[in-house]
Amino acid sequence: MDVICQECGEANPQGEAFCSNCKAFLAWDSTTLIKAVREGGSPPGSTPPAATAARTASPQSTSGPSGPPLQPSPAGASAALGPTIAEPAPRPHDVASNPATSPMAGHGPALPTVGGETVPPTSKACPRCGQSNPRRVRFCTSCGYCFVRLAVPQSNEPSPAQAAAADRTARREYRRTLPAFYRWRRVGISVITVMALILAGVVTGGNPGRSFKDGWYWLTKQYVAVTPVVAAVDPTAVVQGSDPARLVDGTVKEFTMNWAPGSVAACGPAPGTSWMTLSITSTRIRRIVVYPGLDRENPKRAMQPLPKSIAISFDGGPCRLLGLSTSPGPVDIDIDSGEAVSQVRVGIAEAYPVGQDAEQAISITEIVLKKYPD
């Protein structure tokens, strides 16, 4: 009796644990069905016609009623009188698993031949449990081992460079799909801004060419450092051993002043401190970069108060008060001197509150003056 798989309908020999076709567990089946005899056979339990004829014939007779004499049957011929089961048609994966028809035929052990034709093996052993299985099954009928090895697809994940290139291409394609107004909007705004700056330069009697350059540098945020710069500070406000030249030397060496203000200045250096005066060749300043406090790698940074606001003045003119964050920098301050100046003064107006154990000193690591390219 065959066990019919309730998942796919495949017939499996009695006693198998897994379906040979879909790998379903057969022990959960509550009923056992008898598979119908395929074409050319007799129903189970019925007497085969050949066997019936053999029993009705006389034991001494060696010939049939109207046929030639019956020849003695070879040993085991009685087994051939049983039901004849038609062999199922081969399925595609049977052909692929048949060594006789495989493209690799001839590269393994020689197969037995009958009448000049190769006879494929009818069973295969499971490499996991050793169970003998029919050649056509995909899973072991004892332990469920899969005989078919599927190729693992290789990852198609692009590299970072390929992803960036694909992203740029996608952005270009997206911009091409936009209406012309949106594609040229940024260009139009830039042109209008530059023309407005040129017109302002003409109206105010300035140089139109220079106004055009300044407008372009403003749009593209192009700056260069002003050099040389000489720093000077009132010696009475400087901590012993500190040098004002460290403010503009391009290193992480800080400049430190005494800090014990009793009040906050309206605009300018706090009481007890001093202006930091930076002298330069006559230049129009466009940006000031400040690195407040000690360098980020200095372990004493948290032991000092940090500058909260600074005052800036050009050539002794009006004072401008600007706030700072607690970041170690750089802090970019876009400020226009309006004209060429030869002196920039910077003062610490206020500091962030600190604990009682903080040092009575405050530092600036670096100050960089910037202008547009010449």
User: What is the extent of the structural domain holding 138?
Assistant: 1-48+85-106+116-151
Q: Same domain, yes or no, for 43 and 173?
A: no
| Whole-number Å distance between alpha carbons of 239 and 315 | 26
215 and 127 both lie in a single domain: no
pTM across the whole model: 0.46
Residues 36 and 120 in one domain: yes
For position 187, what pLDDT does the model report? 77
Looking at per-residue pLDDT, the higher value among 318 and 115 belongs to: 318
pLDDT higher at 115 or 83: 115
Does the residue 300 lie in any domain? yes
Counting residues of the chain whose pLDDT is more than 90, the rounded percentage is 26
Instruction: Let me know whether 309 and 175 are in one domain.
Output: no
| Shared-domain flag, residues 128 and 248 | no
pLDDT (average), residues 213-227: 79
Q: Which amino acid is at 36?
A: A
Going by pLDDT thresholds of 50, 70 and 90, the confidence category of residue 287 is very high
Domain assignment of residue 69, yes or no = no
For residues 46 and 22, the model is more confident at 22
Question: What total of structural domains would you count in the chain?
Answer: 3
pLDDT in tens, 30-46: 444 444 434 444 444 44
Q: Do residues 169 and 269 share a domain?
A: no
More confident residue, 13 or 238: 238
- Does residue 17 lie in a domain region? yes
Split at pLDDT 50, 70, 90, the class of 215 is: low
- 210 or 7: which leads in pLDDT: 7
Q: Which residues contact 180 (CB under 8 A, 6 or more apart)?
A: none
Residue 64 in domain: no
The larger pLDDT score, comparing residue 76 to residue 154, is at 154
201 found inside a domain: yes
Domain end, chosen from 186, 220, 254, is at: 220
Minimum mean pLDDT among 170-174, 252-256, 336-340: which range?
A: 170-174
Which of 16-25, 141-150, 307-316 bottoms out in mean pLDDT, i.e. has the lowest?
141-150
Is the confidence at residue 294, as pLDDT, over 60?
yes
* Residues 22 and 141 both lie in one domain: yes
User: End of a domain among 177, 196, 220?
Assistant: 220
CA angle 94, 99, 101 (to 5 degrees): 75
63 domain residue, yes or no: no
Please state, in angstroms and rounded to a whole number, the distance separating the CA atoms of residues 136 and 147: 10
Judged against a pLDDT cut of 90, whether residue 266 lies above it is answered with no
Mean pLDDT of 345-363: 88
125 and 168 share a domain? no
Could you tell me if 130 and 234 lie in one domain? no
Q: Within a domain: residue 270? A: yes
Res 362 pLDDT > 60: yes
For CA atoms 164, 170, 174, 175, the dihedral sign is: positive
Q: How confident is the model at residue 364 (pLDDT cuts 50, 70, 90)?
A: very high
Lowest-pLDDT choice from 138-147, 158-167, 205-214: 205-214
Average pLDDT, the chain: 74
Q: For 146-169, what is the mean pLDDT?
A: 73
Note whether 12 and 127 are same-domain residues.
yes
When pLDDT is cut at 50, 70 and 90, the band that residue 211 belongs to is low
DSSP-H helix ranges across the chain: 49-56, 92-97, 160-177, 180-183, 185-203, 208-220
Q: Who's near 14: CB < 8 A, 6+ residues apart?
A: 1, 2, 3, 32
135 and 201 fall within a common domain: no
User: What CATH number corresponds to the domain at position 318?
Assistant: 2.60.120.260
Residue 257 shares a structural domain with residue 203: no
Q: Among 186, 205, 220, give the residue marking a domain's end.
A: 220
Query: Is residue 14, in this structure, part of any structural domain at all?
Result: yes
**Do the Cβ atoms of 255 and 363 come closer than 8 Å?**
yes
Per-residue confidence (pLDDT) for residue 101, from 0 to 100:
44
